[in-house]
Structure 1
Amino acid sequence: MNIETLTARLHALESRMAIETLISGYANAFDLMDSDLLQTLWHEDATLDLPGFGAGANPGEILAMAQRNWKKMPHMHHWMANPLLHIDGDIATGTVAADCLFHDLTQGPVQVSGLYHDRFECRDGQWRFTSRRFELHFLTPLANWKPTAGPEKFERN
């Protein structure tokens, strides 16, 4: 194997790890209500479209949308799974399945499931989202749901 092939393979592996870290960072930023982490995930011209939950056309708008949702849903727990990524140099696309448990102050506990459609770019050596769009598969109210263990982090209606 020549050096060019090894370099290309190493770049692909490093890129995949960086992108999977972005996907995990997104879930953790929303779940932990971490404004600082959330802002590090996006290029300046990035978009986030969460139909029914809001949208943003740059990191500032994305943060403002997240903060509005955090007030309405003070408890979130995201599970991201099955990332299917296509990496072509410094541009990548992918889909990621998501299941999310929210405590909505109006609706109570709900489960949201769907698929994220993502675009990523590596600019100046940094992979970031350029767009993320959520395709809602279902939103299911969880009547009478109450944790039986662990700290309760939200008020019930």
Structure 2
Amino acid sequence: MSAVLEARLDRLEAQAAIADLVHEYARAVRRDEQEKVAALFVPGGTFEVRSGHPDKPEFTVRGRFESPQALVAFLLSQKGGPHPVPLIHNLMVEVEGERATANSMMAAPIYGTDKEVFGEYHDSFERREGTWLFSARVYTLFG
């Protein structure tokens, strides 16, 4: 196989694996299976929630989790209660070697309430031993 074709195939496979990862996270949240979330991150992966506009420097950090375990602990504290039902839209993935970034929109009705959240993800990924994982997620709720 030519090097060009091999590179194209690797990029397409990476984009598909990353899309699956993004949707696996959404499924775990939707199904109230927060304990599955840590396995989707590199060990030092972070998650940050902001309010504002994702493409402007003015925002407020609402919460930051410095490890997948901290994120899971927070999510588990809410288990069984109202939670988002994430609907991911417009996922765009950029791959560069063993790292990648993605941008997507999320609209999420809050199960058990009449509320909904709407915002944008900016994600970073690393490929570790052939598996793509989140290294950072930033979710900005539109203010």
Name the TM-score class by shorter chain. 0.7 to 0.9
Structure 2: distance between partners of 1:61 and 1:5 = 41
Q: Please list, as runs of the form range in 1=range in 2, the aligned pairs for 1:6-155 lying within 5 A after superposition.
A: 6-51=5-50, 54-70=63-79, 73-103=81-111, 108-138=113-143
**1:6-32 Cα deviation digits (max 9, x unpaired):** 110111011001100111011101111
Asked whether the equivalents of residues 79 and 99 of structure 1 are also in contact (C-alpha less than 8 Å), the reply is yes
Asked whether the equivalents of residues 99 and 127 of structure 2 are also in contact (C-alpha less than 8 Å), the reply is yes
Consecutive aligned runs of 4 or more in structure 1 exceeding 6 Å deviation: none
Structure 1: distance between partners of 2:77 and 2:109 = 17
Which gives a bigger RCO, structure 1 or 2 (Cα 8 Å, sep 6+)?
2
Deviation at 1:116, TM superposition (A): 0.5
**1:71-99 Cα deviation digits (max 9, x unpaired):** 5x434311001012211111111211000
Structure 2: distance between partners of 1:126 and 1:134 = 23
Structure 2: distance between partners of 1:32 and 1:54 = 22
Q: Report the secondary structure of 1:40's partner residue.
A: helix
Q: Report the secondary structure of 1:109's partner residue.
A: coil
Task: Give the aligned residue type for 2:12.
Answer: L
Runs of at least 5 residues in structure 1 that lack an aligned partner in the other structure: 139-157
Structure 2: distance between partners of 1:12 and 1:80 = 21
TM-score by length of 2: 0.83
TM-score by length of 1: 0.77
Deviation at 1:36, TM superposition (A): 4.1
% same residue: 27
Structure 2: distance between partners of 1:19 and 1:40 = 14
Task: Give the aligned residue type for 1:91.
Answer: R
Asked whether the equivalents of residues 25 and 37 of structure 1 are also in contact (C-alpha less than 8 Å), the reply is no
Structure 2: distance between partners of 1:50 and 1:24 = 18
